[in-house]
Amino acid sequence: MQKPMELIDPKICRNTAAIFRALGDASRLQLLALLAKREMCVTELTEQLNDNLPAISQRLKLLRAERLVKTRREGKHIYYSLADNHIALLIENGLAHGSEADDSVCSNQETGET
Amino acid sequence: MQKPMELIDPKICRNTAAIFRALGDASRLQLLALLAKREMCVTELTEQLNDNLPAISQRLKLLRAERLVKTRREGKHIYYSLADNHIALLIENGLAHGSEADDSVCSNQETGET
DNA sequence: TGCTCATTCAATCAACCAATCAAGTGATTG
DNA sequence: CAATCACTTGATTGGTTGATTGAATGAGCA
DSSP string across A36-81: HHS-EEHHHHHHHHT--HHHHHHHHHHHHHTTSEEEEEETTEEEEE
Tell me the C-alpha distance between B4 and B21, whole Å.
Answer: 28
For residue A83, give the DSSP letter: S
Q: Strand C: which bases are under 7 Å from protein Cβ?
A: 5-10, 17-23, 26-29
Can you say whether residue A46 is alpha, beta or left, with left for phi > 0 and alpha for psi between -120 and 50 degrees? alpha
Chain D: bases < 7 Å from a protein Cβ: 5-11, 17-23, 26-29
Rounded to the nearest angstrom, the minimum Cα separation between A55 and chain B is 18
In the complex, which nucleotide's C1' lies nearest to the CA atom of residue A43?
A: C6
Q: Distance (Å, rounded) from C-alpha A42 to C-alpha A80?
A: 8
Go through the domains of chain B in sequence order and give each one's CATH number: 18-90 (1.10.10.10)
List pLDDT tens digits, range A20-76: 999 999 999 999 999 999 999 999 999 999 999 999 999 999 999 999 999 999 989
Tally of CB atoms within 10 A around B59: 21
Cα dihedral across residues A42, A43, A48, A51: positive or negative: positive
pLDDT digits (tens, 9 = 90+) for B10-63: 999 999 999 999 999 999 999 999 999 999 999 999 999 999 999 999 999 999
What CA–CA distance (Å, rounded) separates A38 from B54? 45
Whether residue B5 and residue A29 make contact (CB cut-off 8 A), yes or no, is no
pLDDT at B75 > cutoff 60: yes
Contacts of B30 in chain A (CB under 8 A): 7-8, 10, 13
Separation of alpha carbons B87 and A44, rounded Å: 34
